[in-house]
Amino acid sequence: MNRLVVQQIVKRYGDRTAVSGLSLEVGEGEIYGLLGANGAGKTTTMRMVLGLIMPDEGKVTYFGKPYSRELLRTMGYLPEERGMYPKIKVSDQVVYLGQLRGMSRKEADSSLKRWLDRFEIPEHYDKKVEELSKGNQQKIQFIAAVVHRPKILVLDEAFSGLDPVNVELLKATVKELRDQGTTILFSTHRMEHVEELCRNITIMHRSRPVLQGAVKEIKKQFPMERVILSADHDVNGLDKLPGVSAVVRNEQGYEMKVDHPEAAQSILQHALKQGPVRRFELKEPSLNEIFIRTVGDRHE
Amino acid sequence: MNNLWTVMSFTMKTKLRGKSFLTMTILISVLLMVASNLPYLIDKWSSGGGAVKVGYVQGEQAEIVAAVDRYLGTIEEPKVALVPIEAPAGAAERSAAMRQAIEDKRIKGYLEFKPGQDGVFPSVTYLSKKVFTGDASQQLQAALLAAKNDAVVKDAKLSQEQLARLTAPVSFDALQLDELDGTGKTEQERDTAVLLTYVVLILLFMSVMFSGQMIASEITAEKSSRVMEILVTSVAPLQQLFGRVLGTFIVAVMQLIVFVAVSVVNLSLPHNKVSFASLGIDFGSIDPIMLVSAVLLYLAGFFLYAMLFAAIGSLVSRTEDLAQAAMPVTMITLAGFYISFFGLNSPDSSFITICSYVPFFSPFLLFLRIGLAEPAWWEIALSVAILLASILAIGWLAAKIYRTGILMYGKRPTLAELRRAMKAYKV
């Protein structure tokens, strides 16, 4: 039995349906990606998983059991819109949140100190949150979500608003938590993070799950249709080749769209006839493209 | 239970550490210190400046002046002193001389005698640059009346005994009848009760307003800073709500204890005892029942309004919108406060009696009635029962609103939207 099982949940607000018929399962030591445009129902789903609101239909089980208040202590939540008490010391509020989740003051304090060391900001222990930079506030927020060592962690847009260095730091931390066995439900707009972190994903669109499964499997469903070519010389007549539907020339070379993977081979042969080729790649579609295509298709 | 305590102590700790709390407590303590010494200070200043020096033309109306002087001599702290001024004859020269004396600061003003209507006693005018203060004016009038009596009585050839009887003051006292045991409240006790009622009403009002607004604005701040999202996933909303209200309550009580201590210490300073006694106020005469009911009604009033303010705070997403949303509750509090002030003058009126059964007003008005009127025990019981029932009902409703409101963002929800949301959240 997986740790977190969501079965056919439905949530309606009045006559508007926020989530409709979503199911997913997340195991121990797994990061599950929840993707979708704004208003697709990600936050509502997460709120149902957290037990803040009850689904109208379907159910959520944790460790095989239905929701109960005691479960809160095993869960951590990083909300999309960050919030801490601006005028209260970091130590005071993180320890407070840890205590609310069943830790003793001492445990919470030492856990906080460990995390501050991990993020290399131990000097912020005694500072007020409003005195910190935005990136450091985000780190504190993250610590507040994990200070009590949750078994199920819900991260809503965990990396938004961070600089690349901090994104890497946080990403490494999330992977560490995963390797320690934490079950993580993860939502984002940034597809590159999903490809790197998530085993399974759900793409939601207008309250419905439109694409679900393992990232590798999903990618296989979409044909490889992008070809990258760069050579030291100009390559002529690419657009006349059969099966090539679009050619874009950029600084590094050419980017083409092909109707079927075999057409790529004829591009390579064609280019080689005109001179040496520095780079040739038949690219699998990125999640970004898959996302745009899946969600974009349904816009009509 | 554990979480309730955690929320409570966090609420208390953040408040006690805050600068605004400390500033407020010190500021109000200083004000109380000044206020409780005020009767003494007023005494000191008005007598410290000495009596008002009133000039008269030397030699004019010698008999009357002598009688006035005699009368002023019998008063312990005369507010008026007569100063003879030498002035030449002639109305214009005389008034010039008097004005000069005022300019020289020898006197504040002067008396002018004109023939009176009855022909016996002259009419007297006091001329000065500044308005005569009440006390001094009254004393001077009384002194002149005494002088007139003297003048009239002298012709009647009364014996000393008759004279003494004539001038003996009338003994007049107002006594409040107590229906239960026939013992009445003396005027002094009544004045003290009015003062105590006054003070308790102000304290109740201020405490309710400050704590209520504080609770509401904290909840809204937690919503707008989105700390709420983490809080609701950590602790049950009810525990959160009650922990916060209890924490704020304890802080408010601590503050009140400081205020009361400051007042009591200052009032029991020896110099103040005399000043208050002269105002007819004796703190020893306070009915202990009044103190007990003050504490109990304060408790009730606090929780009633705290719950209301908490519910409102949970509905608003931005601090800017809070004042507007809290307006109805603020108005109700103000109404209760003002009605009770009206009631200070007529605690027995049926309007006050009826209003004392309205739960939002009863913390104010029931106390007023217990202190100043004599409500029957069943009236008190009924009022308290209604109050307690409404606290439970409002607490229950506030908890429901709170549970729903803290997850609603955006514009302030209408009642219909709120009801729909409650259904959606299954609270």
**Region B307-327 average pLDDT:** 87
A86 touches chain B (CB under 8 A): yes
CA angle at residue B299 from B295 to B300, to 5 degrees?
120
- pTM for this model (two decimals): 0.73
SS in 3 state form for chain A? CCCEEEEEEEEEECCEEEEEEEEEEECCCCEEEEEECCCCCHHHHHHHHCCCCCCCEEEEEECCEECCHHHHHHEEEECCCCCCCCCCEHHHHHHHHHHHCCCCHHHHHHHHHHHHHHCCCHHHCCCEHHHCCHHHHHHHHHHHHHCCCCCEEEEECCCCCCCHHHHHHHHHHHHHHHHCCCEEEEEECCHHHHHHHCCEEEEEECCEEEEEEEHHHHHHHCCCCEEEEEECCCCCCHHHCCCEEEEEEECCEEEEEECCHHHHHHHHHHHHHHCCEEEEEEECCCHHHHHHHHHHHCCC
* A18 and A136 part of one domain: yes
Q: Report the residue of chain A nearest B14, measured CA to CA.
A: A88
* A261 and A135 part of one domain: no
CATH code of the domain containing A206 = 3.40.50.300
* A116 and A209 part of one domain: yes
pLDDT digits (tens, 9 = 90+) for B263-301: 888 877 777 777 777 666 676 667 778 888 888 888 898
At A259 the pLDDT is 81
Residue A10 bridge partners (DSSP): A57
Distance from CA of A264 to the nearest CA of B (A): 51
Beta-sheet pairing, A277-283 with A253-258 = unpaired
* A277 and A152 part of one domain: no
Q: Which fold has domain B52-167?
A: D-Maltodextrin-Binding Protein; domain 2 (3.40.190)
Could you give the percent of chain B with pLDDT greater than 90?
Answer: 7
Residues of chain A predicted below pLDDT 50: 300
List Cβ<8 Å contacts ≥24 apart for B109-115. Answer: B109/B52, B109/B54, B109/B55, B110/B54, B110/B55, B110/B56, B110/B57, B110/B85, B111/B54, B111/B55, B111/B56, B113/B60, B113/B61, B113/B64
pLDDT digits (tens, 9 = 90+) for A18-43: 888 899 999 999 999 998 888 888 88
At B250 the pLDDT is 92
Q: Report the residue of chain B nearest A82, measured CA to CA.
A: B226
Q: Report the residue of chain A nearest B425, measured CA to CA.
A: A53
Q: Check if the beta carbon of residue A187 is closer than 8 Å to that of residue A155.
A: yes
* A134 and A242 part of one domain: no
CB contact under 8 A, B226 and A75: no
Question: Is residue A28 assigned to a domain?
Answer: yes
- Collect all residues with Cβ–Cβ distance below 8 Å to A292 and sequence separation of at least 6: none
Question: Is residue A89 assigned to a domain?
Answer: yes
Instruction: Give the integer Cα–Cα distance in Å for B387 and B393.
Output: 10
At A184 the pLDDT is 94
Which of A164, A182, A215 lies at the terminal end of a domain, its last residue? A215
A72 touches chain B (CB under 8 A): yes
Question: Is residue A185 assigned to a domain?
Answer: yes
Which of A162, A180, A215 lies at the terminal end of a domain, its last residue? A215
**Region B51-62 average pLDDT:** 78
**Region B215-229 average pLDDT:** 85
Residue located via tokens 């081979």: A265
* A204 and A230 part of one domain: no
Nearest to B53 by CA among B132, B125, B143, B114: B132
Give the range of the structural domain holding residue A36, as residue numbers without chain letter: 4-215
Q: Where are the domains of chain B?
A: 52-167, 186-422
Check whether B179 has a pLDDT greater than 50: no
Check whether B1 has a pLDDT greater than 60: no
At B174 the pLDDT is 57
CB contact under 8 A, B424 and A97: no
* A279 and A207 part of one domain: no
Which of A169, A186, A215 lies at the terminal end of a domain, its last residue? A215
- Stronger pLDDT, B361 or B43, i.e. the higher one: B361
Question: Is residue A80 assigned to a domain?
Answer: yes
* A116 and A140 part of one domain: yes
Mean pLDDT of chain B: 81
Residue B233: HSE in the Cβ half-sphere, 13 Å Cα cutoff: 25
Check whether B316 has a pLDDT greater than 60: yes
CB contact under 8 A, A100 and B14: no
Q: How many residues does chain B have?
A: 427
At B171 the pLDDT is 66
Check whether B152 has a pLDDT greater than 50: yes
* A90 and A163 part of one domain: yes
CA angle at residue A82 from B226 to A211, to 5 degrees?
105
Nearest to B421 by CA among A47, A284, A264: A47
SS in 3 state form for chain B? CHHHHHHHHHHHHHHHHCHHHHHHHHHHHHHHHHHHHHHHHHHHHHHHCCCEEEEEECCCCHHHHHHHHHHHHHCCCCCEEEEEECCCCCHHHHHHHHHHHHHCCCCCEEEEEECCCCCCCCEEEEEECCCCCHHHHHHHHHHHHHHHHHHHHHHHCCCHHHHHHHHCCCCCCCCECCCCCCCCECHHHHHHHHHHHHHHHHHHHHHHHHHHHHHHHHHHHHHHCCHHHHHHCCCCHHHHHHHHHHHHHHHHHHHHHHHHHHHHHHHCCHHHHHHHHHCCCCHHHCCHHHHHHHHHHHHHHHHHHHHHHHHHHHHCCCHHHHHHHHHHHHHHHHHHHHHHHHHHHCCCCHHHHHHCCCCCCHHHHHHHHHHHCCCCHHHHHHHHHHHHHHHHHHHHHHHHHHHHHCCCCCCCCCHHHHHHHHHHHCC
CB contact under 8 A, A54 and B425: yes
Is the ipTM, as predicted for this complex, more than 0.90? no
At A115 the pLDDT is 93
Count of domains in chain A? 2
pLDDT band at B256; cut points 50, 70, 90 = confident
* A40 and A189 part of one domain: yes
A47 touches chain B (CB under 8 A): yes
* A99 and A232 part of one domain: no
pLDDT digits (tens, 9 = 90+) for A123-139: 999 999 889 888 888 89
* A270 and A127 part of one domain: no
Residues 115-144 of chain A with CB under 8 A from chain B are 144
Residues of chain B neighbouring A84 (CB-CB closer than 8 A): 225, 227
